[in-house]
Amino acid sequence: MVPNPFSRLLREIGLALARLGLISEERARRTSELAWPRIVTGVARMSKSAADVAMVGVVLGGTAIAGVGYAGPFWGAAFSLGGGLAAGTIALVSQRFSAEAYDELGQAIRSSTLLVFATTLPVAALFYLFPVELIDLLTDDPVAVAYGADYLRVLAFGVPFAGLNLVGSRALIGADDAWTAMVLRAGGAVVNVGLNAVFIFALGWGVEGAALGTVVSNVVIVAAFVVGITRGRLPLVGAFPVTVSPFGGYWDRETCRDVVTIGLPVVGRNSVWTGARFPLLAFVGLISSEAVAAYVVTRRIWGIMNAPGWGFGLAASSLVGQELGKGDESTAEAYGREIVVFSVATYALFAALVAVFARDIVVLFVEDPASASVPIAVGMVYAAALAIIPQGVTAAVAGALDATGDTRWPFYSRVFGMFGLAIPLVYLGATTSLGIFGVYLAFFAETVAPAVINYYRFATGKWKAISRGYRPEAAADD
């Protein structure tokens, strides 16, 4: 693995926490090794998403930004399905990898592939056939509808591939290899940005060019995962930790049931945000059109600040799952608690950096720095930078619980945070004198409530009994 400044930074944060006696040095080292590649992937992919908006905004203006923003929740459905079912993949793969139950591991990957493809294909068809009708649900601005529909129609072709590349990524991380997953997915994000520059600026394809870049990059990533996992290595990348035959059975009733049982609440959890974006965008639109553009920009920046959650959540899933695969519940619990501390410290650092450069970041998204949306976005970014810190607890604990199969409580907590608190606060902001402060408060509502609820659930220890029902046969027979 090639050393890099980001891995060293994360390692230093872990060692500093270890010197303070907050976490074990050995567990800090293992966590940072698994987390940093995933965080880099998250930063790369969220930066890619931000670049989409920035390129479109520079060429076509704020209405095009709004159109792409209105299409965002629909594209998020692909990740809700793929990422949710892939939570079942990482739980099963991590436990079977540590127990050396490789036949069951291969079956878990093939069954996950089948399930993700089968569930995302109808979604792709819906986006392709009815893009105007879908975007029209969120806004009555005909120009924004046209931009959003053009973007969504092209994105439809990438929906199954977006889900499948999540399965490949989670399978490798579950097998203790976050590096290869990072190289492929972060590399795909770089390819995406390059394609977008060509399609948007050189060829003048606008929002459709931005969407096409996303589709092509996802196809390339899936092809790389397929070649690497089936052959055991990939040119220029190297060896993969597991080799899975593509000719084995895909439908296995028990494995598919486990993937769905673990993954379905995670699909629900992911879908909470996807579903919440519809009323959130609609209510922010009641404040002003400038507020919508500012909110879309802030959410792209939020995605970059939220990148540590990708790393620590999946590191928790892998490391907790591996310890459970060996039957060591006490070490699994220690990993879960200490990764939370590590995660929160890293989130705080990310948030502080964004807050310092808030205005400089915001103006990258607009054609005119004097635009009325700029000060609105800067204020939102300040609020988001503080509100994102509790997400360090939410993401890490959710990842740990995913590894155990106890995935319902993170789903419940997110429903409560978003639909019980955040959306009503934005609505109050749109319809009362609370105004934009309702949006600020909503940022805190969606992170603080799930953090408290998820950590409470982990502290009860009930996940230990639940995990025993999903452990590999090799471990269960000991």
pLDDT digits (tens, 9 = 90+) for 40-75: 777 776 766 667 677 777 777 767 777 887 787 788
Structure tokens at 185: 């997915």
Range of the domain at 232: 5-473
Task: Judge whether residue 351 has pLDDT over 80.
Answer: yes
CA distances from 248 to 107, 109, 110 (A): 8, 11, 8
Q: Please indicate, yes or no, if residue 13 is contained in any of the structural domains.
A: yes
Q: Which of 220-234, 243-257, 416-430 has the highest mean pLDDT?
A: 416-430
The more confidently predicted of residues 84 and 184 is 184
DSSP state of 248: S
Neighbours of 414 (CB within 10 A): 24
The more confidently predicted of residues 356 and 406 is 356
Task: Judge whether residue 120 has pLDDT over 70.
Answer: yes
Task: Judge whether residue 427 has pLDDT over 90.
Answer: yes
Q: Please indicate, yes or no, if residue 478 is contained in any of the structural domains.
A: no
Beta partners for residue 238, in sequence order:
234
Task: Judge whether residue 474 has pLDDT over 70.
Answer: no
Q: What is the mean pLDDT of residues 267-280?
A: 76
pLDDT category of residue 2 using cuts at 50, 70 and 90: very low
> Token match 């060591």: residue?
328
Q: Please indicate, yes or no, if residue 220 is contained in any of the structural domains.
A: yes
Share of the chain above pLDDT 70, in %: 94
Task: Judge whether residue 285 has pLDDT over 90.
Answer: no
Q: Please indicate, yes or no, if residue 198 is contained in any of the structural domains.
A: yes
Domain count, the chain: 1
Those residues with Cβ within 8 angstroms of residue 277's Cβ, 6 or more apart along the chain or in another chain: 72, 73, 76
Task: Judge whether residue 468 has pLDDT over 90.
Answer: no
Structure tokens at 390: 């509790």
pLDDT for res 4: 63
Q: What is the mean pLDDT of residues 271-279?
A: 76
CA 446 to chain CA centroid, Å, is 15
- Give the torsion sign (CA, 378, 344, 43, 447): negative
pTM: 0.70
Task: Judge whether residue 189 has pLDDT over 50.
Answer: yes
Q: Please indicate, yes or no, if residue 33 is contained in any of the structural domains.
A: yes
68: helix, coil or strand?
helix
pLDDT for res 476: 44
pLDDT for res 48: 67
pLDDT for res 384: 95
> Token match 């993954």: residue?
263
Q: Please indicate, yes or no, if residue 345 is contained in any of the structural domains.
A: yes
pLDDT for res 473: 53
Q: Which of 8-17, 286-295, 441-450 has the highest mean pLDDT?
A: 441-450
Neighbours of 12 (CB within 10 A): 11
CA distances from 80 to 40, 45, 63, 76, 250 (A): 21, 16, 26, 6, 22
pLDDT for res 475: 44
Q: How many residues are recorded in the chain?
A: 478
Task: Judge whether residue 304 has pLDDT over 80.
Answer: yes
Task: Judge whether residue 471 has pLDDT over 90.
Answer: no
Task: Judge whether residue 135 has pLDDT over 70.
Answer: yes
